[in-house]
Structure 1
């Protein structure tokens, strides 16, 4: 089970290594060569001396232009020690593997992203003995994927989008489309992706919305994360055959999405949603709630 957003932010690249090069090419506009093969490498950079040094994720990638090492670091906040450890990682890895390392930092925080993107320079004015330029993936450059069709075209990128935006106001708007997109991948991958997203959602209501979306899905219930959902008492009415409970859950979720997005919900709208007994209709309203600008947008004619 994924225990933290720190783990999820870099482990998604272990689940889908090709996502890392797609992110560099499509998000960062870095002309990284097209990979032929990925190899997971030992992340332990500890020397004989009792000083433990570990990177978060380390991948070897073969391309037509040569072999590279992709070093992924998940960063929650600025850490001055990294200005020394990151250059060490890169020089050590080059010495060990004799191929060029590339440092990629992923964060959910814009301030941390700006800090991480600053070049690390060693030397004196006019002469740099070493310069390290991290590539940074953050809410500032990873697209907010809210369109269902776009999410289906590249599910791992949509997951990365939800993860990097997980602590911001855009988190909720991505969840409905992503939940639909996860149905298009195998259950094992979907369960892992669902856990990654769950770990990265910083807003309690967004996390609850995500768990509501995942609760009716079988692969989610087979995943250890489902145990936590059940322990918190949210499994009632969601088991197979409990149609009434599912209707109530979907109505509540629709209203929570609107409230989380700061949209006022008039009593007439609330009553119409809560008294609806058509699960398919509630599914439509829940999807509309993700993009609505006012509560009345749930309904096709815009009237109550």
Structure 2
């Protein structure tokens, strides 16, 4: 099943077709026309060798001019290497071209340099004419100030993802998150999570430290609502309180302790023996609720109780 990161990148391309066409231009597609509209079209195609199991691309878009499709794009978001792409991307392009009767290109987007390199070697080393258009970091300028991020948050999100390991990772993520928090476009929470997941926890901690006071609390509040571990927190809290009423206080506390451990596990924070013993000894539902929320932002499990002192 595609990851949340993959699906949010797909959402970004679907929601911003003009950005997607511009990215294709930068990658080499000869898209010189001005289009009356750019619309999303079905990305599901028949596999001629297996009719009963259609294949599906990530995004398919068509630019219309004079009342008909004039140019079309297939966008593939790849976070890992997949040998099947050496034939699926060719099939996608041919199938969409046949369906719309217009020139079509495949755009390959990946923030991972190894995945980008796989398109050149080994997949299409001897067949460059079949190679999709690969988006590279040079095609997406770094965002270094809030005004630029506010002017076009979608480009800022892409820049934060594509340059997530470079020297401007922290400033780019900070400006992008600030712009998203202040403008609150549709799905801004998912885009914030995309940025935070891309840059890693160490860089994200620097972002938190650099955020101005007016942006600090909304960010941590969103993280508590929208991060991957929140589902476990909510279910754990609900389960703990419900069990506390129906089956006894200790069962409810144990469920909340389990939820706290689950949050730390999802975030990849190791729990040492001392911290585990402190969690086991915690016998206050309000304190456990605070600790579960705090687990969203600490950089180590040991900070849970030191911050509580």
Q: Deviations over 1:276-301 (max 9, x none)?
A: xxxxxxxxxxxxxxxxxxxxxxxxxx
2:207 is equivalent to residue 206 of structure 1: no
**Two-structure CA RMSD over aligned residues (Å):** 3.9
Q: How far has the Cα of 1:82 moved from its partner? A: 1.3
* 1:141 aligned residue: 139
* 2:7 aligned residue: 7
Summarize the Cα distance change of 1:61–1:195 in structure 2 as closer, same or farther, 3 Å threshold: farther
- Shifted more, 143-152 versus 59-68: the winner is 59-68
* 1:216 aligned residue: 217
Summarize the Cα distance change of 1:211–1:10 in structure 2 as closer, same or farther, 3 Å threshold: farther
Matches within 5 A, 1:50-199: 50-63=52-65, 67-116=70-119, 120=124, 131-166=129-164, 170-183=168-181, 185-198=183-196
Q: Deviations over 1:159-186 (max 9, x none)?
A: 1111222355643231121123224534
Summarize the Cα distance change of 1:169–1:204 in structure 2 as closer, same or farther, 3 Å threshold: farther
User: CA separation in 2, counterparts of 1:224 and 1:50?
Assistant: 40
Summarize the Cα distance change of 1:218–1:165 in structure 2 as closer, same or farther, 3 Å threshold: closer
Summarize the Cα distance change of 1:121–1:218 in structure 2 as closer, same or farther, 3 Å threshold: closer
8 Å contact 2:208–2:216 — kept in the other structure?
yes
Q: How far has the Cα of 1:201 moved from its partner? A: 1.2
Q: How far has the Cα of 1:13 moved from its partner? A: 0.7
Please state whether the residue corresponding to 1:145 is helix, strand or coil.
coil
8 Å contact 1:211–1:229 — kept in the other structure?
no
8 Å contact 1:87–1:132 — kept in the other structure?
yes
Summarize the Cα distance change of 1:99–1:30 in structure 2 as closer, same or farther, 3 Å threshold: closer
TM-score, normalised relative to structure 1: 0.61
TM-score, normalised relative to structure 2: 0.60
Summarize the Cα distance change of 1:148–1:91 in structure 2 as closer, same or farther, 3 Å threshold: same
Summarize the Cα distance change of 1:31–1:139 in structure 2 as closer, same or farther, 3 Å threshold: same
Summarize the Cα distance change of 1:215–1:60 in structure 2 as closer, same or farther, 3 Å threshold: farther
Larger Rg: 2
Structure showing greater relative contact order (alpha-carbon pairs closer than 8 Å, 6 or more residues apart): 1
Q: Deviations over 1:74-113 (max 9, x none)?
A: 1123333211111111111222221222111100112322
* 1:36 aligned residue: 36
Q: Deviations over 1:140-177 (max 9, x none)?
A: 43222122222222211011111222355643231121
8 Å contact 1:148–1:181 — kept in the other structure?
yes
* 2:245 aligned residue: none
Q: How far has the Cα of 1:12 moved from its partner? A: 0.8
5+ residue gaps, structure 1? 123-127, 235-248, 257-304
User: CA separation in 1, counterparts of 2:228 and 2:62?
Assistant: 35
User: CA separation in 1, counterparts of 2:28 and 2:92?
Assistant: 24
Please state whether the residue corresponding to 1:143 is helix, strand or coil.
coil
* 1:262 aligned residue: none
Equivalent pairs counted in the alignment come to 230
User: CA separation in 2, counterparts of 1:66 and 1:157?
Assistant: 25
Q: How far has the Cα of 1:20 moved from its partner? A: 0.8
